[in-house]
Amino acid sequence: MLVALIAAIALTSPFGTAEGTAIDDTDGLVIAVSVGVSGTYEVVLVRPFSSFEELPPTALIARGDGTWGGTVRLPSAENWSLVFDAIEPDGAADRSEGVTLIELGIDPVVVEGAPTAPVDEGPVPTTTWWLVVGVVLAASALGALAWWTFSDGDVSTDEGEADAGSPNRGEASSVDEP
């Protein structure tokens, strides 16, 4: 476990000082964050972001002395930026300026550097082979049905006319008239 608390940064009103501590960096980075807020706010959020992505906000807990704090899990141990949002009961919100983890007091040794762009791994292989097999089987079934339907030889082109397989083909028939 890492504990690194060096300094605190003062933010613009209504936000006071903000501090950060690295808690764990074994799988990404877990930090403890606290910020002073003056006023009666219903909730205070911290929003981590980088040049490449924005993570969902994390709600902080009121400590009762004008500070709000909590822990934030980041996917990588890099110098992420944070923004604090204070939301009033009527829905109005105040937003702080962005600060980096190093500015919050996280040790630069823990935070390896600026966030890097996600690696493009190319197209994601999909498991649609079953769909292709289904289409091939359906086409085969339709072909077999067509072959079975039209292979009897009882298909006539005009009404009353026998087909080529009729045993009476070419013979004249006599019709008795009354």
pTM for this predicted structure? 0.56
CA 49 – CA 74 distance, rounded (Å) = 10
Say if CB 111 and CB 25 are below 8 A apart: no
Q: Determine the average pLDDT of the residues in 63-82.
A: 90
Q: Which domains does the chain have, with CATH numbers?
A: 8-104 (2.60.40.10)
In the predicted structure, residue 138 carries a pLDDT above the cut 70? yes
Confidence (pLDDT) at 32: 93
Q: What are the tens digits of pLDDT across the range 103-132?
A: 888 888 888 766 666 666 666 666 677 778
